């Protein structure tokens, strides 16, 4: 009401002058307005006094029709009961103060029927001092009983009201409470719920009850205009399994204690200081409450006695824990705050138990409570009730508060009235003083400002007289100052200040003088500069017909060739000033210039003298400028065209778009296509606008022709111009969508993890790829309005509006056919069931499923990559992807192809990194230490040990293990030389010669390890020839000897390596002092000896060895046991430890 008071008062003062009758303001006089304002103020004050007068209860709830005698009787009974309660409170208040109504806090016990409301009061164990006289109670009618305890008044109420009559009685009861206790009707609500019913109820059963309880509590709160703390009491807790056994040995103090959860205080939004709602806080506090009961569980479970009671007491807490979900649902349904209702203040949830032998007052006949016995009797004391009421509920009596609307109304009523009275007095005092001095100040201000502005105009006129100083910014400050003079142009639409009452004639004289001076300055100074600027624009834009057209049109309007069009001239000059004064720094200057131009048009001006030669040259240029281009520029500038919602990929395809797509041009994905290039706007908005603009452009031919009535007869008519504009529009429409479709592409990637992320974003669900292409197909399928309506109806009938429907019957003359035909391949891509787009999405989904395991393990090993990418299905999917993009936009088709290639590249990269890392970690260090710079791989005195040779080249050696694990899946070992397979998606980029390196290692293994895990070469040696000068020759290889003395030859079998490495050749009967033998030691002595002699192949696996020592010579035949032997070719030659295998 305070807000209403202020609003009406201010509206009367400020808005009343705007009310006119016959063009005259009836409340323009400030004294009249002041009187009316005071009258309105007094009326509102009287209403406020009557409204807040004690005892002013809502009469609508108390007045019943004669047809409702029962309701009226019950309401009268309630009134009598409450009056009797007020009398009792008055006799209790010995101070005789007027606050006796609030001596004791009042609490309402509400809840469903048979929820134990009466038993809760009767078995509370509280002391009721009026018990000897009235049983501690005052009956206020059927179901309404007031119980007077030491510290509070507890009002027992009937169950939830259902009938219209009961609801009316209930609301009347609330109205009576508010009437008798207006400042604090209640101090809290005690909501009783049957614990057993809550435990047994199903969700579909409890929700209606919860909804009704919430409506019930909110109704109480809203009708009393207070925010009440609500205490939820779960009665009949003794029916929870295990309760009697759990508390069998409870002490009296424990039985009177509090068994439940008290919540932190919630703010007016229903949240704690940490921003948590009641349900969340309850969940945490309830868990802590159960934790506190654990010691008693252990105590009861470990107590002596029978097993059954101990087990039941042990299971009590699980049953209590099972109630948590029900209680949380209850709190969420009843106490969850929302934006439409004042939040309820839940203070706690408590469990109580009454004596089962006592009949609940609600169950008594007629709904009346039975007389209450003295509470001192322990039989009339339930469990967990007394302290809950005395130490929790009654202790928080001060938590009740007025709701914010009531508080605000009371504050405004109190302070608003005082402020308005003070303000009214101050206005009356100040008004007289201001009325005297204001006029003199205004006159002095105008005189001083006029002198200053005159000096500014003098300097500005001198500067603009120079050819290079015709800038409007020079005169702008002086014009603005002149317009801003008191009583000047800027104040023309303002009401006359009330301070000038009594001096209106002087005010009018000043206003005529200042506004006339401003209008004259606009015509004499601003207008010539404007004319010069337009002439300059015409001269500068002779080669730009688009700009020339607008400049010439505005120029001709200044010369009165055509009526002034404010929008045309303002738009033209705004664009010119935007280019002359660019950027936000000059935004205020541009706005000021536009304002001066608008003022010039308002004051009017004589026709300017035109430069006919300039006009003639400009018209010669414009004759070659197609008017349809002009029409398209006007079309784009129309508000209804600019306001069309644009098509944006981010709006159509959802939030996953930035993770799935990029644009080749580098533009943002949120940069879309103007709304005029959308199918819905084509026929409904753009074509009608083109039709209107064609007429307008045709009517503007006076710009291009001096005699438009004659010259225009040789031009196209308006219909032809409309066709030209439509042709340009269709071309722009096609170009806009072509640019978009050829710009959007799938995001690139460099790893399987990134590829998986892109595919997941691309496929959804919902799939941004499908949404993008289907939307593009719809926007490029342009049909006549009637066909579009029929198509939409068909889509609604079949429930399939995602993909474009088949094209309706064509109208050959419809201009949108060109667009529809141009993008037909795109519609073919998304049409059908399944469509090509569905197949593409399916293939991408299969690819996503295949690379998922690779992405999950990060840098996958070569074997895992090969297992996936080497699968024929993998290569088939990549090939199929490229085939399924037929008809797709070029950018999308190319990006799908790039996706297939990049997938292969990522697979190769993973294999390459794994191969190089494994080589450098597993093989290279040993190879460099045991093989490099050692014989037989290098000419060196250091030799490779047989053990290291076996470890390196043996059947299970490092080279074999590495090849089998890392390279074998990629290599075709059946060809010579070895080569990589061509059917694997993942192929390592092996360095040149890397395969030959492993092929040589395989040859070494065949030559040396044909018999097992250790190197072994079996061969025979046969003497062939002996120098006649020698008596004999002896060849010893690894302790295996052959002696030849002329005669029959003897073949001796030998093998390498032997027990002792070494080779020796000795000739008999040599001359003294001449060498007769040569020898070499070491495991590789045989190969050193062969390297120093001549070994010639004879045929098959036979070789001839010649030995010369001084003048003596002999020859031997060596025949290997296998064709794979080290004698045939030097398989060891050239082998080295490669520092890398891939990519260098």
pLDDT at position 46, please? Answer: 66
Consecutive 10-residue averages of pLDDT for the chain (1144 residues):
66 64 55 69 67 46 54 87 87 72 90 88 83 64 86 88 81 89 90 87 74 89 89 92 88 90 88 87 92 87 81 89 90 84 88 62 36 45 90 90 67 69 65 54 62 59 46 80 78 62 58 82 87 89 84 87 88 88 90 90 88 87 80 87 93 88 90 93 92 81 69 58 90 94 87 84 87 92 72 43 53 89 89 85 85 70 62 73 73 79 73 78 88 87 89 90 80 84 65 82 88 88 88 89 86 89 84 78 88 84 88 89 82 83 69
Which residues neighbour 1115 within 8 Å (Cβ) at sequence distance 6 or greater?
1023, 1024, 1025, 1104, 1105, 1106, 1107
Burial of 361 (0-12, 13-18, 19+ CB in 10 A): buried
Concatenated DSSP letters for 981-1009?
A: -SS-S----BPTTHHHHHHHHHHHHHHH-
C-alpha 923/C-alpha 925 separation (Å) is 6
- Phi–psi pair at 1041, nearest 5 degrees: -115, 150
C-alpha 191/C-alpha 234 separation (Å) is 8
pLDDT at position 790, please? Answer: 46
C-alpha 689/C-alpha 698 separation (Å) is 14
Residue 248's alpha-carbon distances to 244, 293, 302, 367, in angstroms, are: 6, 14, 14, 33
919: nearest Cα among 1136, 1137, 1140: 1140
pLDDT at position 559, please? Answer: 87
C-alpha 906/C-alpha 751 separation (Å) is 6
- Tallying the residues shown for the chain, one arrives at 1144
Helix H segments across 278-411? 278-292, 294-301, 307-314, 316-335, 386-387, 404-411
pLDDT at position 862, please? Answer: 55
pLDDT at position 393, please? Answer: 92
* Paired strand residues for 1023: 1116
Q: What is the DSSP letter of 1094?
A: E
The DSSP element (H or E) to which 798 belongs, if any, is helix 785-798
Contact 1119, 1102 (CB under 8 A): yes
* Paired strand residues for 1064: 1036, 1079
Q: Burial letters for 1102-1119: b for 16+ Cβ neighbours within 10 Å, e otherwise?
A: bbebebebeebbbbbbbb
C-alpha 1055/C-alpha 1121 separation (Å) is 10
Indicate the CATH number for domain 1017-1120. Answer: 2.60.40
782: nearest Cα among 815, 812, 813, 806: 815
Contact 1034, 1043 (CB under 8 A): yes
- Phi–psi pair at 798, nearest 5 degrees: -100, -5
Contact 698, 721 (CB under 8 A): yes
pLDDT at position 522, please? Answer: 87
Domain ranges in the chain are 2-52, 59-402, 448-606, 923-1008, 1017-1120
C-alpha 495/C-alpha 269 separation (Å) is 45
């Amino acid at each position: 009401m305070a807000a209403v008071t202020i609003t009406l008062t201010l509206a009367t003062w400020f808005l009343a002058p705007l009310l006119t009758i016959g063009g005259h303001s009836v409340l323009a006089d400030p004294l009249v307005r002041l009187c009316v304002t005071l009258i309105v103020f007094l009326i509102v004050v009287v209403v406020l006094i009557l409204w807040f007068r004690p005892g002013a209860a809502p009469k609508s709830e108390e007045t019943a029709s004669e047809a409702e005698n029962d309701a009226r009787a019950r309401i009268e009974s309630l009134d009598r009961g409450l009056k009797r309660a007020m009398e009792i409170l008055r006799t209790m208040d010995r101070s005789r103060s007027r606050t006796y109504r609030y001596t004791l806090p009042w609490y309402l016990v509400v809840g469903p029927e048979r929820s134990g409301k009466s038993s809760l009061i009767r078995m509370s164990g509280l002391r009721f001092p009026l018990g000897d006289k009235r049983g501690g109670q005052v009956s206020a009618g059927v179901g309404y009983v007031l119980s007077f305890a030491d510290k509070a008044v507890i009002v027992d109420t009937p169950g939830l009201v259902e009938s219209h009559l009961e609801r009316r009685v209930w609301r009347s009861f609330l109205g009576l409470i508010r009437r008798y206790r207006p400042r604090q009707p209640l101090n809290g609500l005690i909501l009783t719920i049957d614990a057993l019913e809550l435990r047994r109820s199903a969700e579909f059963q409890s929700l209606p009850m919860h909804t009704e309880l919430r409506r019930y509590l909110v109704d109480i709160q809203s009708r009393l205009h207070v925010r009440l703390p609500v205490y939820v009491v779960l009665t009949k807790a003794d029916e929870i399994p295990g309760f009697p056994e759990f508390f069998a040995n409870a002490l009296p103090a424990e039985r009177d204690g509090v068994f439940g959860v008290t919540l932190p205080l919630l703010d007016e939004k229903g949240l704690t200081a940490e921003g948590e709602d009641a349900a969340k806080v309850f969940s945490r506090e309830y868990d802590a409450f159960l934790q506190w009961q654990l010691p008693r569980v252990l105590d009861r479970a470990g107590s002596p006695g029978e097993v059954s009671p101990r087990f039941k007491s042990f299971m009590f807490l699980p049953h209590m824990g099972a109630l948590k979900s029900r209680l949380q649902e209850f709190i969420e349904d009843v106490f969850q705050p929302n934006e439409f209702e004042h939040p309820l203040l839940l203070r706690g949830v408590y469990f109580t138990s009454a004596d089962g032998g006592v009949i609940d007052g609600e169950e008594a006949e007629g709904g009346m409570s039975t007389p209450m016995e003295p509470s001192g009797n322990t039989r009339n004391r339930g469990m967990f009730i007394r302290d809950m009421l005395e130490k929790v509920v009654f202790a928080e009596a001060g938590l009740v508060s007025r709701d914010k609307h009531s508080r605000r109304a009371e504050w405004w009523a109190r302070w608003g009235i005082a402020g308005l009275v003070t303000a009214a007095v101050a206005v009356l005092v100040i008004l007289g003083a201001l009325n005297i001095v204001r006029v003199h100040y205004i006159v002095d201000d105008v005189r001083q400002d006029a002198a200053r502005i005159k000096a500014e105009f003098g300097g500005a006129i001198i500067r603009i007289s120079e050819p290079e100083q015709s800038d409007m910014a020079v005169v702008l400050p002086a014009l603005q100052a002149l317009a801003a003079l008191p009583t000047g142009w800027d104040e023309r639409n303002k009401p006359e200040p009330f301070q000038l009452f009594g001096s209106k004639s002087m005010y009018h004289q000043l206003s005529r003088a200042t506004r006339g001076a401003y209008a004259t300055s606009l015509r004499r100074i601003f207008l010539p500069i404007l004319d010069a600027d337009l002439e300059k624009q015409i001269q500068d834009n002779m080669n730009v017909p688009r700009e020339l057209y607008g400049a010439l049109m505005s120029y001709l309007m200044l010369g009165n060739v055509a009526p002034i069009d404010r929008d045309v001239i303002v738009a033209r000059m705004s664009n010119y000033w935007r280019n002359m004064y660019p950027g936000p720094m000059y935004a205020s200057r541009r706005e000021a210039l536009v304002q001066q131009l608008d003022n010039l048009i308002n004051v009017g001006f004589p026709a300017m003298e035109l430069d006919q030669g300039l006009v003639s040259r400009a018209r010669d240029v414009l004759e070659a400028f197609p008017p349809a281009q002009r029409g398209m520029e006007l079309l784009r500038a129309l508000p209804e065209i600019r306001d069309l919602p644009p098509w944006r990929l981010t709006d159509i395809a959802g939030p996953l778009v930035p993770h799935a797509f990029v644009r080749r041009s580098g533009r943002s994905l949120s940069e879309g296509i103007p709304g005029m290039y959308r199918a819905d706007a084509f026929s409904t908005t753009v074509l009608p606008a083109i039709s209107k603009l064609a007429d307008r452009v045709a009517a503007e031919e006076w710009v291009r022709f001096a005699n438009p009535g004659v010259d225009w007869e040789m031009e196209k008519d308006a219909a032809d111009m409309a066709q030209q504009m439509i042709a340009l529009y269709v071309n722009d429409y096609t170009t806009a969508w072509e640019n978009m479709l050829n710009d959007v592409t799938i995001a690139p990637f460099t790893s399987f993890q990134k590829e998986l992320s892109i595919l997941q974003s691309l496929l959804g669900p919902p799939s941004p790829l499908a949404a993008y292409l289907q939307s593009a197909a719809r926007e490029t399928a342009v049909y006549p309005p009637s066909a579009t309506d029929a198509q939409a109806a068909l889509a609604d009938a079949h429930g399939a509006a995602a993909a474009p429907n088949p094209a309706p019957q064509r109208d050959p003359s419809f201009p949108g056919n060109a667009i529809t035909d141009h993008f037909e391949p795109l519609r073919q891509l998304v049409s059908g069931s399944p469509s090509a787009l569905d197949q593409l999405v399916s293939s991408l989904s299969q690819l996503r499923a295949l690379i998922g395991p690779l992405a999950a393990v990060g840098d996958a090993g070569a074997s895992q990559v090969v297992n996936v990418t080497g699968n024929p299905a993998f290569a088939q999917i990549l090939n199929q992807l490229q085939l399924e993009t037929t008809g797709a936009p070029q950018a999308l088709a190319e990006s799908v192809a790039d996706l297939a290639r990049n997938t292969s590249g990522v697979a190769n990269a993973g294999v390459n990194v794994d191969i190089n890392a494994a080589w450098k970690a597993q093989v290279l260090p040993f190879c460099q230490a045991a093989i490099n710079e050692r014989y037989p791989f290098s000419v060196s005195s250091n030799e490779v040990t047989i053990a290291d040779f076996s470890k390196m080249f043996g059947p299970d050696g490092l080279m074999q293990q590495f090849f089998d694990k890392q390279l074998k899946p990629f290599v075709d070992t059946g060809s010579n030389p070895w080569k990589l397979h061509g059917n694997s998606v993942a192929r390592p980029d092996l360095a040149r010669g890397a395969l030959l390196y492993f092929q040589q290692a395989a040859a070494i293994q065949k030559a040396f390890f044909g018999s097992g895990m250790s190197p072994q070469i079996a061969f025979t040696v046969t003497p062939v020839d002996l120098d006649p000068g020698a008596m004999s020759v002896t060849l010893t290889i690894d302790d295996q000897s052959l002696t030849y003395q002329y005669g029959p030859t003897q073949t001796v079998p030998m093998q390498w390596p032997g027990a002792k490495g070494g080779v020796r050749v000795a000739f008999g009967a040599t001359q003294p002092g001449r060498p007769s033998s040569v020898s070499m030691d070491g495991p590789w002595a045989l190969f050193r000896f062969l390297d120093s002699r001549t070994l010639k192949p004879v045929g098959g696996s036979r070789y001839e060895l010649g030995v010369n020592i001084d003048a003596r010579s002999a020859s031997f035949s060596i025949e290997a046991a296998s064709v794979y032997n080290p004698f045939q070719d030097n398989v060891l030659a050239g082998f080295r430890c490669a520092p890398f295998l891939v990519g260098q």
